[in-house]
């Protein structure tokens, strides 16, 4: 496999930024590397980091390289600071960067498939929220989405006693979150479910996680609405031991065309 740090200029953010990219080996039977098909386009997992993390966190803290290589998929891990994957009121336009500019840039740089059935998105904590937000706003772009210990109730997140979120106002300002494209409950209301019905949706959270109760409520919101919905929980807090176990399960769960 190739592990690449991709540094590039973002016209949307007006700064140089980076993404970590995994490109798997093309293998033949027996596990040996075969002849290279220069026309091959790889199925791709867009993998989002959490609030206190960066683009390198998944590769430093989990075995995502090994899991992705075993299934033959590329992984793109972008850098979005503490933006909550939003166009910030006082900061960068990270939502536009993520959903419009980033896919164009990395598909220009690397052999990644544009087909919906070959594209998947996942993330942890803030990234779990970002993954759901992207997939639920643009369900035609993905076949599967997964949230690991996600911030699934964004409107109440700053009120959580375990959260120290001094920069929340920089992101949303005085704008209302409830009932907008930022609100996962709004995006999964009954009138939207038909548009989401093709998505394979995975949600997990550790039972000792400070976001566990929020995730249980969101599970109850989703489980009778979506036909391809999976919920998983188990011992664990807001930490990498739990996320590493879960991302392996998620990689194996993805509906990748063999």
Query: Could you read off the pLDDT of 134-143 as tens digits, one per residue?
Result: 999 999 999 9
Give the integer Cα–Cα distance in Å for 180 and 150.
18
First-to-final CA distance of the chain:
18
Give the integer Cα–Cα distance in Å for 246 and 258.
22
Residue 247 confidence (pLDDT) above 80: yes
DSSP state of 156: G
Burial of 185: CB neighbours in 10 Å, binned 0-12, 13-18, 19+: middle
pLDDT in tens, 202-220: 999 999 999 999 999 999 9
Element (H, E) at 215: helix 212-222
Mean pLDDT of 125-148: 98
The reported pLDDT for the residue numbered 110 is 97
Could you tell me which of 114, 81, 112, 115 has the C-alpha nearest to residue 98? 81
The reported pLDDT for the residue numbered 103 is 98
Contact 80, 86 (CB under 8 A): no
pTM score above 0.75: yes
pLDDT in tens, 20-37: 999 998 766 665 666 778
Report the percentage of the chain scoring pLDDT > 90: 85
Instruction: Tell me yes or no: is domain 2-253 CATH 1.10.10.10.
Output: no
Partners of 78 in beta bridges:
19
The reported pLDDT for the residue numbered 156 is 85
The reported pLDDT for the residue numbered 161 is 64
The reported pLDDT for the residue numbered 162 is 66
Q: Nearest 5°: phi and psi at 97?
A: -60, -50
């Amino acid at each position: 496999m190739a592990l690449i740090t991709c540094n590039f200029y973002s016209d949307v953010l007006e700064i140089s930024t980076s993404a970590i990219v995994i490109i798997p080996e093309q293998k033949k039977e027996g596990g040996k590397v075969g002849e290279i098909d220069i026309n091959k386009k790889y199925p791709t997992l867009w993998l989002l980091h959490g609030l206190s993390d960066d683009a390198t966190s998944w590769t430093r803290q989990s075995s995502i390289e090994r899991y992705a290589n075993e299934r033959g998929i590329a992984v793109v891990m972008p850098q979005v600071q503490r933006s909550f994957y939003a166009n910030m009121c006082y900061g960068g336009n990270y939502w536009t960067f993520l959903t419009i500019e980033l896919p164009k840039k990395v598909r220009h740089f690397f052999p990644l498939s544009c087909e919906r059935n070959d594209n998947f998105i996942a993330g942890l904590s803030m990234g779990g929220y970002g993954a759901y937000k992207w997939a639920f706003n643009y369900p035609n772009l993905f076949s599967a989405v997964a949230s690991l210990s996600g911030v699934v109730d964004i409107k109440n997140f700053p009120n959580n006693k375990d959260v120290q979120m001094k920069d929340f106002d920089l992101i949303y300002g005085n704008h209302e979150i409830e009932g907008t494209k930022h609100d996962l409950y709004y995006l999964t209301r009954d009138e939207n479910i038909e548009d989401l019905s093709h998505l394979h949706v995975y949600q997990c959270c550790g039972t000792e996680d400070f976001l566990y109760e929020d995730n249980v409520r969101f599970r109850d919101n989703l489980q009778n609405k979506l036909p391809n919905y999976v919920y998983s929980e188990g011992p664990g807090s807001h930490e990498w031991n739990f996320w590493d176990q879960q991302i392996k399960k998620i990689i194996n769960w993805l509906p990748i065309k063999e």
